[in-house]
Chain A
Amino acid sequence: MSLAFGTRKGPGTGATDPAAPSTQHLLRRKRRREAARTLAFLSPWLIGFGVFFVYPLVSTAYFSFTQYNGFGSPTFNGLKNWNYVLDELPTFWQGLRNTVWLVLVMVTLRVAFGLGIGLLITRVKTGAGFFRTVFYLPYLAPPVAATVAFAFLLNPGTGPLNHLLGELGLPQPGWFADPNWSKPALTLLAMWGIGDLMVIFMASLLDVPKEQYEAAELDGAGPFQRFRYVTLPNVSPIIMFAVVTGVIQTMQYYTQAIVAGKVASGIAGNSGQQFEPGFPQGSTWTLPQMVYNLGFQRFNYGAACVVALVLFAISMAVTSILLRRRSGFMSSDD
């Protein structure tokens, strides 16, 4: 086979064949046509990629080196915005710390909780549909409504949860009003809306071949070993998917944090009042809030672009690391 591959006369090798140049020409035309067709099929994506990714990214990078307040023309100001954000704006580092906390804790707990609920529901013999619905429904609640509801449920003074904790003689946290509890409270809210991950994990768990469990059982594997050596390798691509999308979503965490802060702070933001995002004491201040605050409330588009680029760079770096280390999480045949 290798002989035939290396010695056969054919297109591109037959310098003595008088018909060869025209064949080459035809082949080139064919390749060009194929390339054009491929490009045509790809063009919707390429246009979308250019318009929705390359252009905004390049624009954001450009604005990060300019002084621009939304009016007039941007003027180049070198690294001033970068220096301002990274060196002169302490709230940037506070926002970064909070965002990293949420990425580490919220994503980890959401994935673990989603997998756990998925495992439980796939094992339920009766009423599985009921439980599936119960756990999925919160995901359908609009984020603002869900956050407002949680703020009332977790109100340290009047909320039913603290009332119950008080009845049981347990400590009553300040939840959204306490800087030490505000991020855990947001995490609770995120875990409550676990329906999306639960459905994906359930589909993946139901797809694990039964024979593998039977074989493991025959080999004497217990429940933990079956989970470790059968379930986990099979669902690891889904775990990776959940982690990567979770990291990206959490890097953009905005709505719940600002709504919870606003409700708990009691600041309606009417004329003569200034709402301080991040209530209490900056504990729910995230970088996406900072992008909005700098760009649209302080009219400093250049600095806002710097924060957006930092967010983008962190998202890309974390995702790249996760995907590069992906083989460690994946089953061997994947």
Chain B
Amino acid sequence: MHATTSRRGRRTVAAVAGSAVLALFASACTGSSESGGNDDSASGKDVTITFWHGWSQDNEVKAINDTIAAFEKAHPNIHVKPVGNVADDKVNQALRAGGDDAPDVVSSFTTNNVGMFCSTKAFIDLKPLLQKSGIDAARTFPAAMLNYTQFQGNQCSLPLLGDAYGLYYNKKAFAAAGITAPPKTFGEFADDARKLTVADGDSYKQLGFMPLYHGYESTTEHFLGQYGATYFGADGKSNIATDPKVAAMLSWQKGLVDQLGGYAKLDKYRATFGEEFSAKNPFQTGQVAMAIDGEWRTASLADNKPDFDWATAPFPVPDDQAAAYGRGYQTGTIVGIASTSKKQAAAWEFVKFLTTDTDAVVNFANAIHNVPSTFDALNSPKLVSDPNFKTFLDVAKNPNSGTTPASVNGGGYIVSLQNLGYDVESGKQPDVQAGLAATARQIDTDIAQAK
């Protein structure tokens, strides 16, 4: 009886475990089909294209719908069916499967998948279409934005508004500490951060700056944007161990952590922070006097009206790169055309309008408070801006601004570097160079495996 029961038990367990495996891997795989470039839309035939995007908030949905309406007015025979609030997982499934319900045009909030979209040809290369339309990409889009929308020469996506990062500072705290201007170099920045720090027992009443990598936007890639790191060499292999800028950044951040009280004390203080995207953001509550953040914070600060004056400036740069002051990290939303689309001519007209029509880009940027993604839009008089927002427009225009390049395995290499950063800041990895060498090896192994 025991043996029978055991067999039954094993079968039950096998079924349960098998279901678990299924739940993890039930995704079917089908190859992507070839493109369908000629949809007769150019000859005036009515064509309806499907556009998947991730915007979900009322003002965002209204803004994108207004942009679509402007496009349809300019192209009466092309109709756009928008599908909002679509996550990247669903996008990937749809691009794999194709079919009538699959999107023709897709936008994504993350640049992580660009390497995969380009290398697998899930998105078509837009370079021939740009050339055919007489658009010089280098003269149209800022360099960093062009960089994160292509992979190894394949321009399979284009920027659709962007995010730029800069310094936010509390003017009231600056005045109290006797600081008259925002810092421009890391040396000045460290001095100011110390002056702005007000102790409260074994914690802080006010911290000058939260340097920990979990301090919201204080990430390795955002700091490296100030150094101009490139992440990969010409051979496509990780250069973080050979590029001295990366080691310099890790050491600079660790030094700042130690100067401001050490990892344990800072991490405990970090745990008291409210939600990043809420009125409890530590900069808005006055818990930190300076922060690195994106342009979107200008809108939330204007809405939440903290009880102090604030201003923005480019984030400081390393002392030995003072001439590069004004640069910053950039990222943003991307848009591309599915290779499974049978209506690529109409889809291109739509993508071209979304990404290069100056009025469309400016109106959309004004509506959702993002940075425009073309030079013409960045310089447009119609762009609503004030001195605080202008900081981010200037960062976007700065040719020295940087980004994180696309990779075949998404943001895996950034996570590997970030993990090293956590080990360095906490003291778990005291040898920065050895840590970088091991991380570079791991990044190369991961990418080789994914190819």
A278 to B290, CA, bound (A): 28
Q: Which single member of B9, B95, B331, B408 contacts A271 (CB below 8 Å)?
A: B331
Q: Which residue of A lies closest to B334 (CB)?
A: A271
Contact with B along A229-257 (1 / 0, CB 8 A): 00000000000000011001001100000
Is the contact region of chain A dominated by helix, strand, or loop, or is it mixed? helix
Known: A157-B268, A271-B332. A281 touches B428 (CB 8 A): yes
Known: A49-B15, A71-B32, A266-B216. A298 touches B95 (CB 8 A): no
Contact with A along B387-415 (1 / 0, CB 8 A): 00000000000000000000011111011
In the complex, identify which listed stretch (B75-83, B167-175, B270-278, B355-363) lies at the interface while the others stay far away.
B270-278
* Beta-carbon contact of A158 and B272 below 8 Å: yes
Counting residue pairs across A and B whose Cβ atoms lie within 8 Å, the total is 194
Central interface residue in A53, A88, A268, A292, by most chain B CB within 10 Å: A53
Residue tally, chain A, CB below 8 Å to B: 74
* Beta-carbon contact of A288 and B24 below 8 Å: yes
Q: Which single member of B21, B217, B411 contacts A308 (CB below 8 Å)?
A: B21
* Beta-carbon contact of A158 and B6 below 8 Å: no
Whether A187 sits at the interface, judged by CB under 8 Å, is no
* Beta-carbon contact of B10 and A156 below 8 Å: no
In the complex, identify which listed stretch (A2-10, A34-42, A321-329) lies at the interface while the others stay far away.
A321-329
Q: Restricting to A248-281, which residues have a CB under 8 Å from any CB of B?
A: 248, 251-252, 264-268, 270-274, 276, 279-281
Known: A63-B25, A71-B32, A308-B24. A319 touches B19 (CB 8 A): no
* Beta-carbon contact of A88 and B445 below 8 Å: yes
Known: A157-B272, A323-B10. A68 touches B29 (CB 8 A): yes
In the complex, identify which listed stretch (A20-28, A136-144, A299-307) lies at the interface while the others stay far away.
A299-307
Chain B nearest Cβ from A197, distance in angstroms? 17
Residues of B contacting A316 in the complex (Cβ-Cβ under 8 angstroms) = 13-14, 17
Whether A130 sits at the interface, judged by CB under 8 Å, is no
Chain B nearest Cβ from A190, distance in angstroms? 18
A270 to B267, CA, bound (A): 21
Whether B120 sits at the interface, judged by CB under 8 Å, is yes
Known: A69-B450, A248-B17. A299 touches B24 (CB 8 A): no
Whether A174 sits at the interface, judged by CB under 8 Å, is yes
Q: Restricting to A279-319, which residues have a CB under 8 Å from any CB of B?
A: 279-282, 288, 291-292, 295-301, 303-305, 308-309, 311-312, 315-316, 319
Q: Restricting to B264-307, which residues have a CB under 8 Å from any CB of A?
A: 267-273, 276-277, 294
Whether B426 sits at the interface, judged by CB under 8 Å, is yes
* Beta-carbon contact of A53 and B270 below 8 Å: no
In the complex, identify which listed stretch (B42-50, B246-254, B417-425) lies at the interface while the others stay far away.
B417-425
- Among all A-B residue pairs, the 7 with the closest Cβ atoms: A53-B18, A157-B272, A71-B120, A157-B271, A56-B22, A272-B331, A298-B409
Instruction: Taking A80-B449, A156-B271, A157-B268 as given, write out 20 further A-B residue pairs in contact, using a Cβ cutoff of 8 Å, ordered by the A residue number.
Output: A56-B22, A57-B18, A70-B120, A71-B32, A71-B116, A157-B270, A244-B13, A248-B17, A266-B216, A274-B219, A274-B411, A279-B214, A296-B92, A298-B450, A299-B409, A305-B25, A308-B24, A315-B17, A323-B10, A326-B9
A-B contact pairs, 18 of them (CB 8 A): A53-B14, A59-B25, A60-B21, A71-B96, A72-B31, A156-B268, A157-B268, A177-B271, A244-B13, A271-B331, A273-B219, A276-B419, A276-B422, A291-B24, A298-B450, A299-B116, A320-B13, A323-B13
